[in-house]
Structure 1
Amino acid sequence: MSTPADAGTDQVVTELSGLVFEVTGRLRAQFNAAAAELDLPPAQALVLVNLSGPAPMRQLADRLSCEPSNVTGIVDGLERRGLVTRRPAPGDRRVKHVVLTETGEHRREQLRSSSHALAKTVFALPDSDQRHLRDLLARVLSGPPADGDTRSA
């Protein structure tokens, strides 16, 4: 049997979950708009912002939570645009690393700058509130995984 305190906590958790999803949706929509301004489909834009150095296709798939076969098509599109190249991995020529070209690095910085400017509108709070929210979200993410996932954040 649940107590009134449990019901109150459950309601707060429900509200928190809904708010986090809504904020995430706004951030995603703004990121997609920034990508569209640069003539990039959202999936290609995600690869660009997640590519900080040479990375195997498998690693990109893990970062994007998708199948490696999906990443192949995304990387093909980025390669056609001259934003990335594929290079053999130093230790295993069967593994291909995706590497940003100079044009790709420039486009990534444009995307990051534009999406950051848009994100500032979502988090238009006083500085102390921004820091407090950041700290609370960091605590949530550093807590024990809820689904048995043992990956580190």
Structure 2
Amino acid sequence: MSQPEPPPTPVQLMDRLAHAAAAYYRNFASVAAGHGLTLMQGKMLSLLRRPMPMRTLADLLTCDASNITGIADRLEARGLVRREVDPADRRVKNVVLTEQGEETVRLIRAELMTGLTGLEQLDDEDRRTLGRLLGQVFP
């Protein structure tokens, strides 16, 4: 009788996650480019599920706030986002998706899913398990 395969070590799991993340971002960059966007522009759009302050976007994208201003300027020039004063604090500018921006995000996500067919092959229980495990590793 054959021995069961030993579980992967934490280092092996970290390497797999790094490989998966790199593959995801290569695919994401390609899909974003197909819409005339840079990787960072695409990432910013995908984060805007709700209005978000520029500072929060800078933190989430791990870049300087001045970079966010440039990215938002280019997205705004294309009609994908607009800036609004935060009603709770008039000093804060929120970035908000326009209808065209929402449609672009929808198209990007749909195209991304066509490149991630492995997720579609998971049954409900496997997706629940993967979601739970990812939540434990990245709370």
Q: TM-score, normalised by structure 1?
A: 0.76
The answer as to whether partners of 1:30 and 1:119 remain within 8 angstroms in 2 is: no
Are positions 1:55 and 2:52 aligned together? yes
2:91 aligned with 1:94, yes or no? yes
Greater strand content: 2
> Distance between the aligned counterparts of 1:75 and 1:134, measured in 2?
31
Percent of paired sites with the same residue: 38
- List aligned pairs for 1:4-153, cutoff 5 A: 12-121=9-118, 123=119, 125-127=121-123, 128-141=125-138, 153=139
Task: Compare 43-52 and 53-62 and name the one that shifted more.
Answer: 53-62
Runs of at least 4 residues off by over 6 Å: none
3-state SS of 1:47 partner: helix
Q: Which runs of 5+ in 2 are unaligned?
A: 1-5
Tell me the distance in 2 between the aligned counterparts of 1:130 and 1:95: 38
Deviation at 1:125, TM superposition (A): 4.5
- Paired residues, number: 133
Structure 1 segments unaligned to the other structure (5+ residues):
1-7, 142-152
Separation in structure 1 between the aligned mates of residue 10 and residue 89 of structure 2, nearest angstrom: 47
TM-score, structure 2 normalization: 0.83
CA distance in 1, matches of 2:47, 2:120: 25
Q: Decide which moves more: 109-118 or 44-53.
A: 109-118
| Aligned mates of 2:102, 2:13 — CA distance in 1 | 36
Deviations along 1:33-83, one digit per CA (max 9) or x if unpaired, are 111111111110001010012111011111112221111111011011111
Question: Matched residues in 2 for 1:131 and 1:56: separation?
Answer: 32
Q: Which amino acid aligns with 2:36?
A: D
**Residues 126 and 53 of structure 1: is their aligned pair in 2 closer, same or farther, counting only changes over 3 Å?**
closer
Aligned to 1:145: none
